[in-house]
Every structure is written in C-alpha cells, then in structure tokens.
Amino acid sequence: MQKKLFIKSYLGAVALSLLLLLAPELYATALGKGNAKSGNTRIAFGSCNSQAEPQPLWPSIVATNPDLWVWLGDNIYADTHNMDTLAAKYGKQLQHPGYQALLQTTPITGTWDDHDFGYNDAGKEFEKKAESQQHFFNFMGVPDTAAVRKQEGVFRSYTIGEGEQKVKIFLLDVRYHRDKFNRLFGLYLPNFGGDVLGEAQWQWLEKELKSSDAKINLIASGMQILPNGHAYSSWSAFPKARKRLLHLIEATHPANPILLSGDRHVGEIAKIELEGYEQPVFEITSSGMTHFRNPSKKGNKFRVGEQAGALNFGVLDINWGDEATKVTMQIRGLENKVLLEQKLVFEQKANPHAHL
C-alpha cells in the first residue's frame, strides 16, 4: 500500500513539473498588460474547489472568456502536513481538463486559504508553511526567480490594463501570519488582540494602496471581510485587524475599491459605508465551486439581498467610459445562470495619494 501511495505521489509530482514548463511564461507576460476587449475588462474568480470532486463549472467559466482568473483560496483541499501529498493534489488539479482549458486562454493569479495552505483553520503555527508556499507558487506558475518566493507569505499585487483602464488586484495572505482563532464549542469567538496579516504585510499593503493609480482596486481575501454576525471563520473573528483594514482603506483612499472573498460555500454580496467614499464599498463572496451550503437569512447585517446556495463563481464586468465606469458584479452558477447581481457606477476620480 505504501509503495502504491509513493508511486502515485511521484507521478503526480512529475505531472506537475511537466505542466509548469509553460506556466511561468503565461504568468510573467499576460498579467500586467491585460486583454481588455472593446473598452471592457472581465475578471472571473472563485474558491472552495476540491480536486477530488466533480468540477462542472469550468465550461461555464471558460465560456465567459475572462481577461483574468483569480483564485480566492481553498483552490484544492490538501489538508495535510505531507508536502509530497500536497504536490500530488496540486498536480491532479492542474491536470483537470476543464481547468486546462482555462489555462490555455486565460492568465491565472490568486491567493490561498486554510485547506490549500495546510489544513482546516491553520495559521502561523503551521510548521510547513514555508514549504507549502513554494508549492502554491508552483501551482500558480510563478517563476523560480520571482522575488515573492523569498518573502514570508503569498501576498502580492498585480495590475491588468493600462492608463484609464487599469485595475489593480491586492492578493492578501490571511494564513501565513494569522494568529489562532478563539474557538469554543465549534464557534469562532473574537480574538480581540489577534492579527491576520502580520506587520510586514500591513506595511506592504499601506504602501501599495497609497501608491495605486488604478481606476479600480480589488482587495482579495481568502475569508470574508465585512460579515460580523455568523459563526464561521472571517475577519470578524479578529476585530482589531478588521478595523485596521477598513481604516487603512479610508486613509489611503484607493479609487473605487471592491472587496473579493471566498471560504463560505455560498455566494453573497455585502456593502459598508467608508469615510471619504461617496457610495458604499462592496464585497462579493464567491464560494464554492464543488460544494456549497444552504443559504441563510441570518449572520450578516451588511448583506445585500440573499445568499446563493449553489455551485458558483464570480464575474466582474467593467465597462470603461470617458466620464464614468460601469461595473456589474455577478455570482453565476451552472450554464452561466446569474444567481446574484449588483451594478455600480464609478466616476473617474483618482487616488489623491497616488503621485505624492
């Protein structure tokens, strides 16, 4: 039995290595420039994708022809301390025909959450986190020479598009430096002094937000940011860190921020009023791609409308205009059925800090 497991892990690792021969070029050249079509930019995203389960959403995702795909965590379900097992599971996901179809046409980026980081609810205490980070970057096609491979955590940012059609994506790492949850009888109680990002990531994020000249700024987190009334893992379990993040957005004032998140196994849209912004800041949660929970009417006073309890992925359609930019946020299901939708109109206003 052990011999069979070894062979399976070895073959998975070999397959992963072969698949990654082309990935670094895709990663290095396709992001940054973008592929905006006729004044439009389309970004698709999703989370909670088990490599061991059927993955019926890929044909619908590929059919949307996105300019970028963003993983929002639990991209596979590794749940292991064994790095050979982790590599084999990443390899299995990379070999999935539906995902391969997306890789052939669309640049890929993203962040992680607990199940692909290591195991359920894992944080900074995970002793294999540095090794896990390298396997994550392998999966994403990050070149071996990339500077992010030498930092502690997978946080980074990218831009897609140029000039007046530039979008910047801030990929937060909510696992590598995150303090332990305060759990009691299965509930996530507040860890009032606990942190999520770690000081180096906080400083990086402040600098990146303040200097951004993008017209739309996407802040991506593996777990939800705004909801503060449910019993699942989220930023609300670390109220000090959540408050710091929202205050940082207010202080740095990036133009037209939108929050992206995963983890919850439901689709959801939420909003909050932040100082300095003329309209609410929205969060769109897309989860999960291979399994989901029944929707709930409780647990999120910031929610707009209802939850979507179905297999789902997210789409941001950006229609660039001279005076205003129109954004349509959607949670979609099988056959691209629209489950949730929110439309926004952004005036062309710049970040006042961007050129200081």
- Is 319 part of any domain? yes
Does any domain span residue 55? Answer: yes
Please say whether the beta carbons of 75 and 225 come within 8 A.
no
User: For residue 109, what is the domain's CATH number?
Assistant: 3.60.21.70
Please report the pLDDT score of residue 31 as a whole number: 54
Is 84 in contact with 131 (CB distance < 8 Å)? Answer: no
Give the helix/strand (H/E) hosting 140. Answer: helix 129-140
How far is it, in rounded angstroms, from Cα 232 to Cα 84? 30
Integer Cα distance of 92 and 99 in angstroms: 10
Indicate whether 353 belongs to any domain: no
Tell whether 200 is covered by a domain.
yes
In a domain, 242, yes or no: yes
Domain enclosing residue 86, as ranges: 2-19+33-347
Chain centroid to Cα 8, Å, comes to: 29
Give me the tens of pLDDT residue by residue for the chain, a chain 356 residues long.
433 433 344 444 444 444 444 343 233 333 544 444 568 999 999 999 999 999 999 999 999 999 999 999 999 999 999 999 999 999 999 999 999 999 999 999 999 999 999 999 999 999 999 999 999 999 999 999 999 999 999 999 999 999 999 999 999 999 999 999 998 877 888 999 999 999 999 999 999 999 999 999 999 999 999 998 776 789 999 999 999 999 999 999 999 999 999 999 999 999 999 999 999 999 999 999 999 999 988 778 999 999 999 999 999 999 999 889 999 999 999 999 999 999 999 976 667 677 56
Cα 239 to Cα 283: distance, rounded to the nearest angstrom: 17
- Retrieve residue 321's tokens: 């205009």
Is 266 a member of any domain?
A: yes
Among the listed residues 197, 178, 170, 159, the one whose alpha carbon sits nearest the alpha carbon of residue 72: 170
What would the DSSP string read from start to end of 168-228?
A: EEEE--SSTTPPPPEEETTEEE--TT--SS-HHHHHHHHHHHHH---SEEEEEESS-SS--
User: How far is CA 60 from each of CA 76, 206, 321, 343, 356, rounded to the nearest angstrom?
Assistant: 19, 36, 27, 21, 43
CB of 205 within 8 A of CB of 197?
yes
Q: Is residue 25 part of a domain?
A: no
Would you state the structure tokens that stand for residue 310, as one six-digit string?
A: 């179905």
In a domain, 316, yes or no: yes
- pTM for the full predicted model: 0.90
309 closest CA partner among 296, 288, 294, 299? 294
User: How many domains does the chain contain in total?
Assistant: 1
